[in-house]
Structure formats: structure tokens, C-alpha cells
Chains A and B, each alone.
Chain A
Amino acid sequence: MNIPENLKYSKDHEWSDTNNDVAVIGLTDFAQSELGDIIFIEFPDIGDQIFIGDTIGTVEAVKTVADMFSPLSGEIVEVNENLEDAPDLVNSDPYGEGWIIKIKLNKPKELDLLLDSKSYETLIK
């Protein structure tokens, strides 16, 4: 299972990559593998103000559906529109082309609540 060391992780199996005050959010390798073939993703609207734990979208896979919960608080500033046509990018490249949304953080301190790669690895063991 691929768990890059430079990312932060939530217990709901999302990763965050923060640059200045914008976090890129995606699903972990573990999450995409558990879900199986992903068919589409319902995004939040750009401009939505969200709090940590809010639903930020829904992932429909062939055999199941799962809500995504925001690992951080802030404003949705971008969604990965490439996933409209190629949702399988989340399966094939979960930490790269398969990123899902970008959030402009309003409480960067919340990053301390997230797990590092080692703790996340322990979680999914």
C-alpha cells in the first residue's frame, strides 16, 4: 500500500498536501482500493464554506457509495474537473492526477489534528 511520507492523513482515509494555506485533498491508496472501480464523484460547489468533518462529496463505486468528510475547515476553491471524464484516475493515481478538491484553509492549526504517514499506516493495518 502506497503511503507517501510527505502527506498528512485523516482517519476517513483522505490525504492532504498543504502549500501555503491551500490544501489539496484526495483519497488514499487504501481508500481507492477498498472502494474498487470508481464511477463518478459528486463534488461540493466552489465557494462552499466547510467545517472539519462536513461532507465534501460522494464517491460512487461499482459496488458501493461513500461520503467524503473534510479533514480541514475552509473554502472550496477548486475541484478536479478531469475526474468528470476520468474518475478512474482516483484508482490509478490517487496521490497525483486523482486529487479531488482544493480547500483554502481558515484554520491551518487543524493540520495538527491529522496523522503522519506512520500513524496512518498503523491505522489501516
Chain B
Amino acid sequence: MTASKKTALYERHINLGAKMVSFAGYQMPVSYPVGIQKEYSAVRNDVGMFDVSHMGQFSIIGDGTLDFLQKVTINDVSKMKVNEAQYSAMCYPNGGIVDDLILYRKSNGYFAVINASNIEKDFDWLKQNLTGDVELENLSDEYSLIAIQGPKTRELLSQFTDADLHIPFYSYIDAEVCGNKIMLSRTGYTGELGFEIYGNHIAVQEIWDSLIDTGEVTPAGLASRDVLRMEMKYCLYGNDIDKTTNPIEASLGWVTALDKGDFIGRDVIAKVRENRPNRRLITFVMEERGIPRQGYEIQVNSENVGIVTSGTQSPILNCGIGLGYVKRGLNKSGNEIDIIIRNKPVKAKIVKPPFVKNTSLME
């Protein structure tokens, strides 16, 4: 058992009174003294800031990089221009998901951002599949990462940079913020307008401090982040996707470029798409009081038809919401299902995602 790592912002979380938990091998803030609900509201209405330095970063450069990435990821990397970002996944030959990731195209190569819990596994997987003239480097310990999210983020950040912050969703710029050179990416995991800042530890510490000092930014932890991402139906690796789920059943068909040529897992995934998956990831709302949790059974007419993969209470809808898999044919929105909560069926209804609409995401 190795001791949990600390991010460069650890001391700041402690000083802010955060409740820390061990997550993916890191000591991370789960919530701050204001509580999850207020952190949530800050992100939906104002500005919230997350330390997500536990996430992993790989640099992938060399003349063979495009061919390599086309082989190991499922989205079409050839479509990316410099300064663009792309959501994607890596799959095993059987179609199961190794990890989901964000890929950035830089002027000299690519930069991949992966889940903290999968850093070693992903690195080994990529190394194992490495082809000619590709240089792969794990930079996870060198980067800090913060996510600044909420409808007022652009307004707030503009006080600290001369850069034009009207950049397209899923793109990035190299910018100077608070006198530090960082990578400013218009991405996030909340469904709101927001930016993620990748930089060295000192740079990110200084930016964190400057933003906190404004008094207009609410530090937010993993618990509120989880609620925010569920409301948007953003998958979490280890919950909604893993090595036993394929991209088609996980509704990641939109990032699966079957027409780009061969890639690892393509044959199986193409067959799944052709024959339709045996199960589908659905989103549902509770119609009676109850909170769905990962692992709860889903039933229709007292028959087991699936399993909950993520669930919480939605502050906006003021009811329980969840993600889960159900058997093929049962996944239509409007369908009534039962969630088994402590041996009792509790009524729920399948709905179209996302749970929260008209957010500031594209503003």
C-alpha cells in the first residue's frame, strides 16, 4: 500500500478547511466547509474552482504519432487542428474501454489527459502498443491542473489575462494568466462555461491564490463535481464505463470513428453497432423519494433488467437521478423502471439526457 500523494494545492485545501479523502491515490478535497450544495450552486450560477491535479498527462510526440494515436484511440485524430481538443477513448481488442481521455493537438505533437486512477495502466497499455518513431512521456507529476467553471468564469478570468477568452469549446491557447505561462483549455466536467488550466505547480498555485483572493470564486470538491457531471450524463470511468463496457452501449458512438480505418477494438465495436448492443446506458429520474447509488438493481415487472452505475440527488430537479445500464429494447425514454433501494422497488422513469438543459456551456 503506497501512501496517498498530495497535489501542489494540498496545503491550501487544508487551510480552507476542506474535508480530504483518498481518491485514485491522491489526497483530494471532497468538500469545503460551505458544503456540497453551495459549491454546486457556485458552479451553476457563478464561478467554482476545482483542483484536479490528480488527473494524468502524457506527452506523445514524433513523426509516427498520428498513426499511433489513430490506432490506440477510437476518435478520428486526423481531424484535429493545432490548438484543438478532442474527447476520445482507448479500447481493448474486445471493445472494452481502457480509459476515456481528452487529446490536445499541440504544434509539436499531442497531449493526452487521462483519469488519475488509470495513469499506470494507460501508460503501460500505450507502451505495449507503441509503434515506430513515437516518444511517449508521463508528465503527470509535472503538471498541476485546475478547472474554473461557471457562467461568470470568462468575466472573472479576463481580469487576470490579456488573452482573448472567446475561444471555441474544446480548444486551447497558450496564455499568460497572473504572469504565468499556462495552457488554457475551454473544457470541463460540469456542463457550464469553463476553462481548465494546465501549468507547472508554482504557476497553478499562484493562479489559484489570485482567484481565491478575489472572493468571487468558490473552491469546490469532488462531491459537487460528481453531482455536476451526472446532471450532464458525463461518464465516469470506474462507474459508467470500464473494461467491461464498450463505447456503443455507453452512448459514446459519437466519438467512435468507425470510418477512420483500423484501430484497436474496431472489429468488435463495429459488430456491436451493426447488431445493436445488448444493453444501453440510460439516464433516469426517481419518481418517488430515493437516491439511486452505484450497484443498485434495475427491475421491470420484478425482473432484473440492469444496474445503476451512478446516482445522486439533483439539486436543480430536486429528485434522485441516475445513470445505469438496461437490456436492449428497454432503454426508451418515458419507460417506467424500478430501482431496488434496500430491497424495495422505488419508481423511476427513463429520460433523455442531459438532466440539466440551457446551461452556460456554449456561451
| A1-46 interface with B by 8 A CB criterion | 33, 36-37, 39-40
Tell me, yes or no, whether B223 is within 8 Å of chain A by CB. Answer: yes
Q: With an 8 A cutoff between CB atoms, is B186 at the interface?
A: no
| Nearest residue, chain A, Cβ from B313 | A39
B226, B289, B291, B293 pick with most chain A CB within 10 angstroms: B291
Q: Which B287-318 residues have a C-beta within 8 angstroms of A?
A: 289-291, 293, 312-313
> When each residue 30-71 of chain B gets 1 if its CB lies under 8 Å from chain A and 0 otherwise, what string results?
110001110000000000000000000000000000000000
Q: Does A73 contact B (CB under 8 A)?
A: no
A40 CA to B291 CA in the complex, in Å?
9
Chain B residue at smallest Cβ distance from A60:
B291
Q: A58: CB under 8 A from chain B?
A: yes
Cβ distance B323 to chain A, nearest Cβ, rounded Å? 16
* Contacting pair B35 A37 (CB below 8 A): yes
Docked CA distance A91–B35 (Å): 10
Q: Mark B221-257, 1 if CB is under 8 A from A, else 0.
A: 0010011000000000000000000000000000000
Residues on A with beta carbons closer than 8 Å to the beta carbon of B19: 33, 36
With A36-B35, A58-B342, A91-B35: A63-B289 Cβ-Cβ less than 8 Å? no
User: In the assembly, what is the distance between CA of A40 and CA of B342, in Å?
Assistant: 15
Per-position contact with A for B309-337: 1 when CB-CB < 8 Å, else 0? 00011000000000000000000000000
Overall SS of chain B's interface: mixed
Q: Tell me whether A63 and B291 are in contact (CB under 8 A).
A: no
Contact with A along B11-30 (1 / 0, CB 8 A): 00000000100000000001
Interface presence of A113 (CB below 8 A): no
Residues of A with C-beta under 8 A to B226: 63
> Are the C-beta atoms of B223 and A60 separated by less than 8 Å?
no
Instruction: State whether B291 touches A37 (Cβ < 8 A).
Output: no
Which residues of chain B are near A58, meaning CB under 8 Å? 342
- For residue A65, CB closer than 8 A to chain B, the reply is yes
The verdict on A62 contacting chain B, using a C-beta distance below 8 Å, is: yes
On whether A62 and B312 interact (CB within 8 A), knowing A36-B31, A36-B36, A37-B37, the answer reads yes
| Cα of A40 to Cα of B223 in the assembled complex, Å | 17
CA distance A91 to B226 in the complex (A): 21
Q: A36-B31, A39-B313 are in contact. Are A62 and B289 (CB under 8 A)?
A: no
- Chain A residues whose CB sits within 8 angstroms of the CB of B293 once the complex forms: 65
B positions within 8 Å CB-CB of A: 19, 30-31, 35-37, 223, 226-227, 289-291, 293, 312-313, 342
Known: A37-B36, A63-B30. 15 other contacts (CB 8 A): A33-B19, A36-B19, A36-B35, A37-B35, A37-B37, A40-B289, A58-B342, A60-B313, A62-B36, A62-B223, A62-B313, A63-B36, A65-B291, A65-B293, A91-B35
Residues of chain A touching chain B, judged by Cβ–Cβ distance below 8 Å, are: 33, 36-37, 39-40, 58, 60, 62-63, 65, 91
A–B Cβ pairs within 8 angstroms, 9 of them:
A33-B19, A36-B30, A36-B36, A37-B31, A37-B36, A40-B289, A60-B291, A63-B226, A63-B312
